[in-house]
Structure 1
């Protein structure tokens, strides 16, 4: 995307995840385990099914990448690539998400999906390690994903892990355990690759600038353990990255790093101010670097992809329950998002839990997301905020499908060259 890797003032890109940037081509294999263990795993999947997030979706069109089927090599390649299923799995600090899709024209059609809150990074800030309970939660979700990959006979897949596994001392060991028990090969990607995939997955929503706004844009992804911000140059089918930053503050890591409220309005205000101060300090180098880009006659744009922005967008629309079709691609006045953030920060956790589209899962974490969002609005004061319910998984899918199609073209060209050579030799 960028001509050269953009600067990372946080140094996050120097952590584990050096293989990121490559298109993974993992041939899914069933884990070797006793029959009784397989039966127990299957029954565990059935029990965990009702816990799926209400945001799980299938049958919706979007651009995506992939997983593969074990017998793919035995199939005829002619015309088969467009019928094959691809999968993208994103194991984050808070959520485990899977998309399975087939190419459809320039985009793709989702044929299966899964999303579950696993809280993999719970307690990580204090201990520096993934807890046994958190790993067990994540593994239960990954067993469900593995079964979906098998059932959908996936052709190509890429499975990635982000900040929690980057930071945890036992992150690599957990990745090995996942491979052994589920057959899923997770790639711990760098913060830079995470930012690139998020941009690739959602930048299309910036194409129609409101009121002719076509200036530079910041795309951000508020995750569970980190937040990525990317400044992009407008124009072109794939945007050019001008600058970027990743900070180790997401809704889980920031929540865990600030003492809980004391139950009073003053205590809640003080806690929110402390969160804002932490994030403002981390964002400061990026804010200084991008400041010159704010002064443009074409106007500046802002696009956010995360549970925080989709939740706040739902509250803005006063939806009785989450509806991706209403939220993905929505443009909301930034002032409205600020007002909602401020209101949520003054409420108790119990009060937030009663609001539609928040519930118990997000009631504790959404305040940290609001603090991060307000800091972003301070450093990039766009009038409106575009909302994306898409990101890393869609970026992976786009990469996988494009790479597979390119590989198919290369194979066909090589075969034609061989045919010409044979034909010439027979004359």
Structure 2
């Protein structure tokens, strides 16, 4: 069966087209377009017209592409920005009107679960934790192949903290790290018995950017990104290097996707804050994420 899923994130719209056979699937095509939906949230919590139109246009294009590629099933879900939006119902109706496909806004917990299902295989461990740093939120989940033990979402993402905290030089990194650690610490109070795993995996643009830069390869070259292990020391080194550059200088770096140049250091600071709070010294990068998890959960037989 050929299936596709489109995920509307706070920073970008992404799609994945696969062929499913039993419990496995083969990735055929993936697409991404930066739309910064979260940046369209105004002071009243409403998504502005421009951000919605840009996002809906990307979804419409990807849905059309999937249909032309023979997708028999197509699903669309949205995450943090749509969850936060006061006019989320209007946004849902617009997406369905333009594509003919219902949009489902998923909870932070479900987003964490989907990301874990997609990314955890990269850890190659019986029990692991997963971190997914997005534009509006960061999801964390812990589990094993038999099931997920805990999954939650924190209100901190690269775009969200970019709008909240100025970061023009490496000395500005610490306040962002502290803010991320404090947000996580508040969430962890809801999980007093949480047992942390030894192995962690990370998914999302912050992680693939770090992997590309650590490997010294262009961001368009996905070779060796999956399964790359990056130490906290290396992450800080890359973060400080980027923090010492302006946005235009960052855009010239081959390992950095230009559309992430302004928010990338905020994403790195979130990661450093989380790693410090959870006592991590390294993390494994996964190219697979919540789109893959959605396929696994909804289209693969005998999935979790």
**Same fold, TM-score > 0.5, yes or no:** yes
Residue 223 of structure 2 aligns to a residue whose secondary structure is helix
Aligned to 1:157: 74
Aligned to 2:280: 382
Partners of 2:9 and 2:79 within 8 A in 1: yes
State the alpha-carbon separation in 1 of the partners of residues 231 and 157 from structure 2.
Answer: 23
| 1:252 aligns with one of 139, 159, 162 | 159
Residue 328 of structure 1 aligns to a residue whose secondary structure is coil
Aligned to 1:227: 138
> Closer, same or farther in 2 for the Cα pair 1:193/1:321, shift >3 Å?
closer
Residue 382 of structure 1 aligns to a residue whose secondary structure is coil
Question: How does the TM-score come out when normalised to structure 1?
Answer: 0.66
| 1:145 aligns with one of 16, 38, 62 | 62
Name the count of aligned residue pairs: 302
| 2:99 aligns with one of 160, 178, 182 | 182
Aligned to 2:186: 285
Residue 225 of structure 1 aligns to a residue whose secondary structure is coil
> Closer, same or farther in 2 for the Cα pair 1:387/1:113, shift >3 Å?
same
State the alpha-carbon separation in 1 of the partners of residues 61 and 40 from structure 2.
Answer: 24
Q: CA deviation at 1:336?
A: 1.4
Q: CA deviation at 1:106?
A: 4.1
Q: Which structure is higher in strand share?
A: 2
Q: CA deviation at 1:339?
A: 1.9
Partners of 1:157 and 1:400 within 8 A in 2: no
Q: Deviations over 1:18-73 (max 9, x none)?
A: xxxxxxxxxxxxxxxxxxxxxxxxxxxxxxxxxxxxxxxxxxxxxxxxxxxxxxxx
Q: CA deviation at 1:230?
A: 1.5
Partners of 1:341 and 1:374 within 8 A in 2: no
Pair 1:195-2:112 in alignment: yes
Q: How does 1:350-365 map to 2 (within 5 A)?
A: 350-365=248-263
| 2:20 aligns with one of 103, 107, 110 | 103
Larger radius of gyration: 1
Gaps of 5+ in 1: 1-83, 407-427
State the alpha-carbon separation in 2 of the partners of residues 383 and 307 from structure 1.
Answer: 20
Q: Deviations over 1:317-337 (max 9, x none)?
A: 000343223201222233212
Greater CA deviation, 283-292 or 93-102? 283-292
Gaps of 5+ in 2: none
Pair 1:305-2:203 in alignment: yes
Partners of 2:209 and 2:219 within 8 A in 1: no
Aligned to 1:399: 297
Aligned to 1:345: 243
State the alpha-carbon separation in 2 of the partners of residues 258 and 290 from structure 1.
Answer: 29
Q: How does 1:67-78 map to 2 (within 5 A)?
A: none
> Closer, same or farther in 2 for the Cα pair 1:383/1:173, shift >3 Å?
same
Residue 38 of structure 2 aligns to a residue whose secondary structure is coil
Q: Deviations over 1:335-378 (max 9, x none)?
A: 21222123222322222222113243111010110110101110
Partners of 2:167 and 2:243 within 8 A in 1: no
Q: CA deviation at 1:291?
A: 8.5
Question: How does the TM-score come out when normalised to structure 2?
Answer: 0.91
Pair 1:169-2:63 in alignment: no
State the alpha-carbon separation in 2 of the partners of residues 287 and 175 from structure 1.
Answer: 31
Aligned to 1:372: 270
Pair 1:124-2:32 in alignment: no
Partners of 2:177 and 2:269 within 8 A in 1: yes
State the alpha-carbon separation in 2 of the partners of residues 393 and 203 from structure 1.
Answer: 13
Aligned to 1:332: 230
Q: How does 1:53-72 map to 2 (within 5 A)?
A: none
Q: CA deviation at 1:132?
A: 1.1
Greater CA deviation, 277-286 or 164-173? 277-286
